[in-house]
Structures are given as C-alpha cells and as structure tokens.
Amino acid sequence: MLTYIVRRLIQTVPVIFGVILVVFLIMQMVPGDPAVLIAGDGASEETVQAIRHDLGLDRPLPLQYIQYVLDVFRGDLGTSYRSDHPVMDEIMLRLPTTIQLALASIVITIVLGMIAGIVSATRQHSTADRLIMLVALLGISLPSFWLGMMLISFFSVKYHLLPVTGWGSLEHVILPAITLGASGAAIVARMTRSSMLDVIHQDYIRTARAKGLKNRLIVYKHALKNALIPVITVIGLQFGTLLGGTVLVESVFAINGLGRLIVDAIRMRDLPVVQGGVLVASVIFVFVNLGVDLLYRYFNKRIEMD
Amino acid sequence: MAMLTQEKLLEVQGLQTYFFTDEGISKAVDGIDFSVHRGETLGLVGESGCGKSMTSLSIMQLLSRPGRTVGGQILFKNEDLLTKSEEQMRRIRGKEISMIFQEPMTSLNPVYTVGEQVAEVFRLHENLGRKEAWAKAVELLRMVGIPSPEERAHQEPFRLSGGMRQRVMIAMAMACQPDLLIADEPTTALDVTVQSQILDLMKQLQERMGMSIILITHDLGVVAETCDRVAVLYAGQIVEYASVDSIFDNPKHPYTQGLLQSLPRIDEDQEELLAIPGTVPSPYDLPSGCRFAPRCAFRKDICSTAQPELLKNSDEEWVRCWMYDENWSGSDASGQPHISNQEGSKVI
Amino acid sequence: MNQSVITPAAPHTVIRPGQLRKFLTRMAANKLASAGGFIVLFYIIVALFAPWIAPYDPYNIHLPDKLLLPSWDHWMGTDDKGRDLLSRIIYGTRLSLLIGVAAVSIGAIFGVLLGLVAGYYGGWLDAIIMRIMDILLAFPGILLALAIVSALGASLINVMIAVGVFSIPMFARIVRGSTLTVRKLEYIDSIRTLGGSDLRIILVHILPNIMSPIIVQITLRLATAILSAAGLSFLGLGAQPPSAEWGALLSSGRDYMFSAPYLALFPGLAISTLVIGFNLFGDGLRDALDPKLK
C-alpha cells in the first residue's frame, strides 16, 4: 500500500506540470500586450519596453515557461494588475472562505446523496423511490446559479429567513452550500441507488440471507459497504464540479471567495489573478483526487493485487 | 452410508412455486414430493432448469420476486415452514437449516474477512461476544480443513481459492450444527480433484453431527457416491424417488433410465453416447399430460393427454409414469420393457 | 487519475439490423424517455420557427413598456428595456441549442478521434493522449472553460470553443474504454489477418460497435454543455448584450431579483426544462441500449 501511495504521488507531478503548462499556454492566447495594459494609454514606447523587460516578456517562450514554473514553486504567482498586490496574497485571503463553502457543500452532497440513494434502493419502485429520483433529476438539470437565485428570492426576500449575502455564520452558509451541493447530491443519490441495486442482487447477499440475518443488517452491513465503493469515485469527481461551481455560486451570493476573485479578475482583465486562481484551484483538485483514489484502493482491496 | 433412521426430518408435499412475469407464469416447481430422514443424504437430481434450485430456495423461503410459493406443504420437524413468519424463518435459517451455494467465488462478501463472516453466524444465532465468536470461527475453519486458520481468518475471500472458499461456506453452514444442510451444486464450479475433497468433508461432518443433507446436483456420479436416497426431477415435478441402489440398478422412470444410459461406461465398448432426444420444455409452456412424453420412447396415447400421479409402493419407491399402475408393487414390475444396452432404444 | 475506475456510460453493443426495431420499441415504452424526447423536439421546433412564433421583436427596445408583469399581452412580462421576455426566450432557444450542438460536436469529434487512436494503438500514443486528457480533467468544473474564455475574450464563439474543449476528455475516455474492449474481440484479429488496414478496421468495424455509449454521452453532454454555456454567459463571459441568450437573460434578471423575480424565473425554467429533456432522453437511451436488460 505504501509503495502505491508513493507511486501515485509521483504520478501527480507530471499532471501538475501539465496543468501549469496549460494555464501558461492559455494565457499566451490572450490578444494584446500585457505590458501595454500595465503601462496604460499614452505611455511612451520606452516605458512599455521597460515594463516588458521587467516582466520577462521579451525572452523566448520556453524560457518564460521555465521561469513561470520556478516562480510557481516558490509561491510567486505574479502581481495583480489591478491591485498591485501579489496574486498569492489575494488568493490566500479568500481561499479559506471558499474551502469552507466547498466543505459544507460536499457534506451536503455526501450525506443527502447517500441517504437518498439508500432509501431509494431499499424501496425500489415505491413512491419514495420515484420522488427521490425525480428530485435528483431536477438536481442535475437546474442551473446552480438559478437555483441560488430562486432560493434567495424565496428564503431571503420573501420570508426573510436567511441573509442574502455575506459570510460569517451558519446562516450565511446554508443557502450557498445547498445551491452548490445540490447537483452533486443528485448524482451521488443516483449512483448510490444503482450501486445498491447491483449489490443487492449479488450472490453474497443471498448467502447472508441464508445465514438468517435480519434485513436491516444485510442492507447496512453487507450491502452498503460494497455499494459505496464506486460512489467514492463519483464523490471525488463531484468535488471538482463543486470547486468549479464556486465561481457561479459565490457570484450569486456575493461571497468573497476564490471563485468570485477569479470572475472579477476576468472582467477586469487581471490575468495574473485568473492564472493564479485557476492554478491553485486545479492543484487542490489534483490532490483531492489523489486522496479519493487512495481511499478507493483502501476499500476495494480486491484490486490491491494489481 | 450414514445411519438411517425412520424419523422424517423434512417432508415436502405438493410443493408449487411459480414465477409471475411479463412473459407469463413460469411453473418452476409444480408438484414436488419427497422426504428426508434424519441422518440421510438425499440427492435431488435433474437437468438445469428442472426446478432443483427453486425447490431448495422454496424450503428456505429465500425466493425473490417475481417467484412465490403458491401451494403445498413443507413439514420440517412436523411444522409447516410455509406458515411461518419471516421472523421465525430467520431463526431457522443458518441454525436449523443451512444452505450452501454453487458459486463459491461470489457467495462470500468481498469486503469482510472470512473470519468475520463465519463469526457472524455465532454472534447471530448463539449470541456470542466478538472474541468468543472469533475463536469458534477459527476452530470451525480448522475443522473444515483450512490450513493455518488463525491467519486465514483475517483474510478477505479473494485471497482464497475456490475450494477453500467453499470450505468457508461449509463452515458457515455448519456453525450452529443444523439438522439439515441443503447443498446446491456445491462442487460444480470446482476442479475435479477439489470436488471429492469437498464431498468427503461434507460426509465427515454429517457423520459427526448426525445431520441430514439434501444434495442438489446434475452429476449422477456424485449421487452414486454420496447419497442414500435420490429424487429425480423433471420439468418441475418429481418423477422418481427411491433409494440410490434402486435408482441405479432398477430405474423405473424412462427419464431416469435415459439419464443413466447417457452416462459413459468404462466397462463396455460404446459405439456412441446415447443422449435423450429433445429438450426440456419451457416452464412457461408445459405440455398437457406427462411432461416427459414428447421425449419418451415408451409413449402411449394416454401420456399426451393426462398427467400421471405419483405412485408409491411399499418399498418407499415412488414413480410418476403411466407405465405403472396402482397395483404395481415391488421392484420387478412384470411386462415392462427394460432398456437394454443395444441399439434397441427407439429414437423418436 | 485512475482510468480503470471510470466505466463507459453504456456497454458497447454490436449493432445488428433487427436491433434497431427492438431499440425503438424499448425507447417508446419508456415513458419518461419519450417525454424527454418530446421536450427536446419541442425546443428544436421553437428554435427553428422562432421568427414566426415569437410575438414581438426580441431586440426592440420600448422603454415605456419596461418591467411589466406577465399579462395577456406579454405572457412572461417585459424586461428593463421594455422587451418582451417570451420572445427573447424563444430566440434564446436558438442560441442555446446552437452553442450546445457546436460545443458537443467539437468535444465529440476530437474526443472520439483521440479515444479511438489511444484505444486502438495503445502503447506510448495511448499513454500520451490519456495523460493529456488527465491534465485537462484536472481542472475543476468549468474552470478550464473559464480560463479559455478569459484568454480569448468574451463572446459566444469563444464559449463554444471553451465548452467544446472542456468536453473532449470525457469522450476520449469513454471511447478509449470501449475501443479497448472491442479490440480484444477475436474477429478484429481475423480481419487483420485478412489484410484489413488499420483505418478500415477502426472506421468500419470498431466505430459502429461503440456508437451506443457515444450517443448516450452526446445526449447527456448536450445537457451539461447548455448549462455550462449558460453559466459562462451569466458571468458575462459569453453572449454580450443585447443577445437573448438565456444565461445573459439570467444575468440581467439577477439585478431585478427583488423587484421583478419573474425576469429570472422564466429563463431559468426554460433552461431547466430543456436540460431535463436531454437528461431524460439520455437516460432512456442508456437503458434501451444496455444489453443486460431484457
């Protein structure tokens, strides 16, 4: 197992380099000259040239890339065009908020999704099952930002139950977390249901019945542990969608997190921030995936033999 | 052979289990009668699809939709199992009646260790604590012939071979010393060498515990070696039920005769292997009259129109065939053509 | 990323003539899937006949009529510039379907191509392609599309490209998986011994057999693409005003969440319904193509 962990860790290195490369390349696609942008209108040619040299933009592309990689590993993600602060600082200021939101949302995704999936599977074809699957369908079909807006309209505007925007207490977290976690919960519910149904028809469940075990024990002990194994992977993937979704949800709820930082930066053409933000989010996701993969291997011991 | 007593442990009468599907009603089990005495091994024989497994699942009441037992009685220790509640059945399963299945590779839960799964039976039926149950589980694994049981108990099923997994299944089934063990094709999925080991193991345990076994199989060789009595199934019905000697030396029903005939023999030169022509009827679409009639070499007119009853004679031999009438008794029914080993077998 | 963990959306089926009828019967019997199909069809018709169906000109600014509540004249009310919301939504259908189809086409064409090559040739080609796909999939959610749009500039076309690129890895993975399975079938080897060229084998023998998961994925991907595109437009990164694209409508509707909530309600319903349609239809397709169900 340990060797496997090390091996996977090593495998993430090229992926991270690849992510850095992709981000770098995408930024190269930006039309226009960043030096001109910084210098402002009306700046003289020498000023622009000086800035360009400062930023290292006059060197060949591969060297720029290497410089960028080195900078990244040193923690230097550049300087924001707009605020003139280091990008890393700007990100670190807002990252905790986003992490909190993401965690709250993933809890909703996992708990709500699994419970719904289990209930559905154990009561297959019943009204509860159909209802849950209907809600799940809505969960994956409704745009998250729209759901957020509708929730705000209902809970905050009409009934004043919860605050509209802001951050800091449980009340602030509820609506955004539900909005963000809804589609994930729907997917997890569907996956859990189908996985449970698969498992319930397996031979070893028949054996458990032949041993005289009570139904509840069979479902929660024998079936569940097997059924949840593929669901783990799905949860990992959903974390990615969730992280990406913070961009939308933070905008709707005016939450000062990483997602909103990126969106504002795009609007302001503050490219270093966009670059840095996307990079940080992606690296986080890579490690989350690694964790999920290890968790999966731990539970699915059968493939440990590989 | 095990010690036979006259006491009937299990008596199945007129069992009917149907499957209600979109394609119609499948009469998987449609009139099964047999008995199992204490300490006896009964072989339940037939081709695939004849209802053997369904019979055993009906006894254990482990049927899943859309199957349902619709008629008959299953008397276990003189109580009809079909009238028992689910809760009552649960207490019987694994404790008084146990079952082992055909596919050892998939019949054990992959995420729990072998020891845990065996211990579970003790914890459930005998209310033992974790440590006690584990200790007993290890002992049980030793008893079924698993080497180094202390280590093996900590392993998940995928680490064990098919034969070993089947031993674990047997251990789980034996844990509470049941009165009856139902073994549904326990060796079919195993290598031949392992097969005999498993069968020997079962026999040993049977002698130790005085347990009865219902052995479901399509392999007549296994039947000859291990069973005391045999019930032959065809298309959901018992067509012959007698002692193993009687079945092999003097088979009554044409189907039984056909089965025995199709066994390759080493003591004779055979020009060809004789198979029973035709195929088993679909349980959705059973012929009226005798179900074997379309394939039977001795078919008479009445065979196609009316179903024969199960006739029982004084030697505890039963047969369902129009060749025999109520006055039939003894093993030497007169005037009955016997199938010889010449090419006299009429092909339909 | 662990490739062995992702399974194709539907197992591949060998397509035979009689199967088509069986498949259509199964689809028709599945009421939910049929409903989904009708929804999608409905939207397609609305998109095609928009100029004839829309009661008003969606771009016609008429300030005296601004922010009217839904009424008989304006079934969905008017927006802050007096434009009829219903008409704007109808025209928006065209844009959403266009973006969806374009994006998924990009994703499917490149994804299938890469997946076929990776699955068929294996070796280092497979490793490189899949490693690139892993890298693309390392970007959480729509962040990749976001980054692309931010670089190229906010416009509808760039959203199409961005969402398209972001769809490629999924197709590549699924197609690669199916290709690997089909390639192992014996008849592929026999064709090779008969002298079939690689290209021929891929196009004629492998591709038709893996169409089912591809089709299912296309349908489900259309749902996601439309949502993603709407999301990007909502952030102001897609269609620019005065475009009637649904995401943009939601964006402007957001400003009036308190005073005129219907401005956000209806476009959202429009998106949701279409996506529900694609999802139902896609689910139905997947079930109908699954050989395990009798």
Reading the block at residue A31, the tokens are 């039309």
| Ranges A72-76, A164-168, C155-159: which has the least confidence | A164-168
| A141-155 pLDDT tens trace | 999 999 988 888 887
Q: How many CB pairs under 8 A join A and C?
A: 162
- Residue from the list B95, B103, B121 with its beta carbon closest to the beta carbon of A203: B103
Q: Reduced to 3 states, what is the DSSP secondary structure of residue B212?
A: strand
Confidence label for C42 from pLDDT (cuts 50, 70 and 90) = very high
A window 228-257, beta carbon within 8 A of C: 230, 233, 239-245, 247-248, 251-252
Pairwise CA distance, residues C241 & C230, whole Å: 14
CB C168 within 8 A of CB C111: yes
| Ranges A6-10, C196-200, C231-235: which has the least confidence | C196-200
Residues in chain B, pLDDT under 50: 1-3, 330-348
Pairwise CA distance, residues C116 & C109, whole Å: 11
User: Using a CB-CB distance cutoff of 8 angstroms, which residues of chain B are in contact with residue A208?
Assistant: 109
* Chain C contact probe: residue of A28, A145, A229, A290 with most C CBs at under 10 A: A145
Q: Can you state the angle between helices B130-143 and B114-125, rounded to 10 degrees?
A: 120
The nearest CA of chain A is from the CA of C276 a distance in Å of 5
User: Using a CB-CB distance cutoff of 8 angstroms, which residues of chain A are in contact with residue B169?
Assistant: 207
- Single-letter amino acid code for the residue at B18: Y
* Chain A contact probe: residue of C4, C131, C139 with most A CBs at under 10 A: C139
- Single-letter amino acid code for the residue at A63: L
| A262-291 pLDDT tens trace | 888 888 888 888 888 999 999 999 999 988
Quick one: how many helices (H) and strands (E) in chain C?
Answer: 12, 0
C68-91 average pLDDT score: 81
ipTM over 0.85: no
- pLDDT of A212 higher than 80: yes
Judged by CB atoms closer than 8 Å, whether chains meet at C139 and A31 is answered as no
- What is the structure's pLDDT at B1? 45
CB C180 within 8 A of CB C263: no
Return the sign of the alpha-carbon dihedral for residues C229, C231, C237, C243. positive
Pairwise CA distance, residues B284 & B66, whole Å: 14
- Residue from the list A203, A211, A305 with its beta carbon closest to the beta carbon of B172: A211
A95 reaches C (C-beta below 8 A): no
- What is the structure's pLDDT at B340? 32
Instruction: Name the closest residue on chain B to residue A214, using Cα atoms.
Output: B90
Mean pLDDT (chain A) is 84
User: Using a CB-CB distance cutoff of 8 angstroms, which residues of chain A are in contact with residue C143?
Assistant: 243-244, 247, 262, 278, 281-282
- What is the structure's pLDDT at B162? 84
B window 205-264, beta carbon within 8 A of A: none
Pairwise CA distance, residues A101 & A167, whole Å: 10
The better pLDDT of the pair C242, A240 is held by A240
Pairwise CA distance, residues C128 & C61, whole Å: 53
- Residue from the list B93, B103, B110 with its beta carbon closest to the beta carbon of A226: B110
- pLDDT of C118 higher than 60: yes
- What is the structure's pLDDT at A164? 65
* Chain B contact probe: residue of A198, A201, A206, A211 with most B CBs at under 10 A: A211
C258-266 average pLDDT score: 83
- What is the structure's pLDDT at C79? 79
User: Using a CB-CB distance cutoff of 8 angstroms, which residues of chain B are in contact with residue A200?
Assistant: none
- What is the structure's pLDDT at B175? 87
- What is the structure's pLDDT at C196? 65
- pLDDT of C16 higher than 80: no
Judged by CB atoms closer than 8 Å, whether chains meet at C146 and A262 is answered as yes
User: Using a CB-CB distance cutoff of 8 angstroms, which residues of chain B are in contact with residue A210?
Assistant: 60, 62, 93-94, 98-99, 101
A15 reaches C (C-beta below 8 A): yes
Give the residue among A179, A186, A180 at the shortest CA–CA distance from A135: A186
Judged by CB atoms closer than 8 Å, whether chains meet at B111 and A225 is answered as yes
User: Using a CB-CB distance cutoff of 8 angstroms, which residues of chain C are in contact with residue A141?
Assistant: 223, 227, 272, 275-276, 279
User: Using a CB-CB distance cutoff of 8 angstroms, which residues of chain A are in contact with residue B111?
Assistant: 225-226, 229, 299, 301
- pLDDT of C104 higher than 90: yes
Could you tell me how many residues make up chain B? Answer: 348
Judged by CB atoms closer than 8 Å, whether chains meet at C271 and A31 is answered as no
A63 reaches C (C-beta below 8 A): no
- What is the structure's pLDDT at B181? 92
Confidence label for C276 from pLDDT (cuts 50, 70 and 90) = very high
Confidence label for A38 from pLDDT (cuts 50, 70 and 90) = low
Q: Reduced to 3 states, what is the DSSP secondary structure of residue B41?
A: strand
